[in-house]
Amino acid sequence: MSSDVIADMLTAIRNAIALYKEKVEVPYSKLKAEIARVLKEEGFILNYKKVDAPNKSYLRIFLKYGPNKEQVIREIVRVSKPGRRLYCSYKDLKSDGFTVYILSTPKGVMSDRQAKQLKVGGEIICYVR
């Protein structure tokens, strides 16, 4: 385990997708739940839910695949890291239509599309293709 819990979550998702798992569990945090919410809203995962164990809570993420088991998430990469934070204005958010950036803004965690609509910038957590 590293000290970057978001990178650990993204790596767990990446590894589960490579093995065609139907779900993956990561230790729960509010930020991870918000990232999962954005992934669901953007159609990259089926669902997510908080699972309470006797001494720890987990976030169970249900992964999504295409009709022929093709991967919906082709790439999921951490952008802003603990040692090098990356912030962006909504004016600087450029999208190619395939990539979704997930941002942490003063108005909450959201996709780049939502940030542009609300005209708010923030820290770029990761991008998904």
Three-state SS at 51:
strand
Give the chain's domain count. Answer: 1
Domain assignment of residue 20, given as a range? 5-128
Average pLDDT, the chain: 95
**What digits encode the pLDDT tens for the residues 58-102?**
999 999 999 999 999 999 999 999 999 999 999 998 878 889 999
Buried b (16+ CB within 10 A) or exposed e, 45-61: beebeeeeeeeeebbeb
With cut-offs at 50, 70 and 90, classify the pLDDT of residue 1. Answer: low
Q: Residue 12 pLDDT more than 80?
A: yes
CATH number for 39: 3.30.1370.30
